[in-house]
Structure formats: structure tokens, C-alpha cells
Amino acid sequence: MDLLGHTFNTPLLLIVFNRPDLTQRVLAILKENRVNNLYIAFDAPRDKSQEEVIACAAVQEMVYGVDWAKNIQILSRSTNLGCGYSISQAIDWFFTHVEEGIILEDDCLPSSSFFSFTQLGLKDFRDDKSVWQIDGSNFNPCHTKNLYEFSSFPLIWGWATWKDRWNAYRFNFTPQEANDIIINQFNNNLIKAFWLNRIKDFYSNAVDTWDYQWMLTIWKHNGKVVRPPVNLVQNDGFSSRSTHFEVNRYNHLSKKAIDFNLEEYSPKTIAEYNFELDELQFRGRFMKGSKLYSFLFFVNDNFIKTIRRAIRFN
């Protein structure tokens, strides 16, 4: 499906903040793909430092300068809400206006195929309440002829969902609720232990985010995620300005965004859930890819605590 030359009317929420260079790049991609139904949300500067105030002002100037989308809605904030509340409330706001749509952050640079894939996925799975998200990322393409594959891991670097699924979202889970959901979700003890450690970091206020809660919401409802056969979004946000990712340590996650011909794949043939493929996705996104790198990554990321947890589940 070639969207160039055609108006793309599926609603899209773009979340921006303080990176004018990335905002300029992603807005150029949206303009090139004729995104016509555009919602943009931005947070206020975190402090009064001149550097951040100037950066946020430059981003906002770009946002208010968009004149190529027929429908554009803007959500601005006068005080900084932080990453977790800012993004989750922006998605809340988005779904007060639309029934389904795409969510994109400023550092996520999609290929043209991302738009056609997510649009088709929203249509094909609209009535399948077991599917909660359409992903734009694939870290380990298996080169099958299936247009869709199922996954347990929602990846939020360019994704789409429906209002009725998002309405189940909760920002506040108790630590016990989160632990119970993770324990019930996974049979693989190492994956289970990994997420229990991540959730522990969240509750210790080491991470200010919203996506762990979305993941827990999906797992609580035994939801599935649909991923594309190739990677459709490149994350270009690994730098000192990144909220959660350090430069160099996570550069391996910046996979190239690929265009592909949807008509060469079968949208009606959906691969059965394959845990081994999903484990590869887990290692490719949350670890370093290979088993050796996974081991070394765990050593550097609370490995002893993780192994102790994993042993306790045996």
C-alpha cells in the first residue's frame, strides 16, 4: 500500500518535548506521508534553565507552524508533568477525540510502511478484543510471509491501539498487583525475574514512566500484541538528552526503519504464537541480542538479584 500521493487520515498523536532537531525530522516524515489528522502534545520545561526553555520554545514554534495537516489539535502544558504523567495524560486526551489511532514520540522515525501497516492492523484487529496493540518494531525479523505475528511484549516506539483498550489503562498499580501479574504472565523464570526487577526499580522511583503500566494492563487482561514482519521504526533518541537511555549503552537498539510491500505478505495468515520467537524479541529489545550478550547485560544490570529471583521460582 503506497500512501505517498494519498492523504493519510488515521489519527496520529505526536508527543514532543525539548529536542527540536528530532521534532523537525519526525514532522518532515509526517508531512511527506500526508498525515492529515494530527494531534500534538508537549510538556513544559522541567526547570528554568535557559537551555531547556529555549529548546522547548523552538519545538513549540515548529508545532504551531504546522500548516499542512487539515485537522490539527495541540495539547500544551504550562507546568512540567514529568515523563510518566505527561505521556499517559496525552494519550488520555487523544482518545477523548478519536476511537483508534497511532502514537509516536519525537525520537521515533517511521518508514512509510509504518503508516500503512498500523492503519491496516487497526482495521483488521478492531473487533478482536484479545489484541491490544499494533507494534511498529521488530528486533528479530524471522522473514516469514505472515504479515502479522503475535507477541507478549508491547513495544512503544511507534504503535497503535483503540480507545476501548486504552480505557482499561491504569497509571497506579500496587507493587503486589504488579508482582502477581508478572508471576502469572510468564513461565520462563529468567524473563519473570527480569520484569520483577524492572518493576522494583519503578516503585523505588528510579524510573518515571508510563509504559510499564500499559504493559501490566495488557498482561492483566491476557492481551496480545501484533508485530510487523520487519522493523518499521528507528529510534534516534539515544543521547545525553534521552530520559531513559544512555548514549552508547543502548545504541544497538537503533534499528533501521524498513519499507516493505504489504501485498507480498498474507494478512489473513497469522502466525501462531511462538514463544521462541518472542524470546528473541525480548532479548533483542530488552537485552543485548545474543545469549552471551544477554548474560553480560544481566551481569551489568542487577544480575545477582535476577538469578536469585529466578532460582526462587524453580
- 309 falls in which pLDDT band (50, 70, 90)? low
pTM of this structure: 0.85
Structural domain spans, the chain: 12-125+155-171+231-260
**C-beta of residue 285 within 8 angstroms of C-beta of residue 138:** no
pLDDT of res. 307: 55
The answer on pLDDT for 295 being more than 60 is no
> What confidence tens digit (pLDDT) does each residue in 230-260 have?
999 999 865 444 444 444 444 455 678 999 9
pLDDT at 242: 46
Q: May I ask the CATH architecture of the domain 12-125+155-171+231-260? A: Alpha-Beta Complex (3.90)
Residue 251 burial (CB count, 10 A)? 12
Q: What is the mean pLDDT of residues 18-40?
A: 97
Model confidence band, residue 299 (pLDDT cutoffs 50, 70, 90) = low
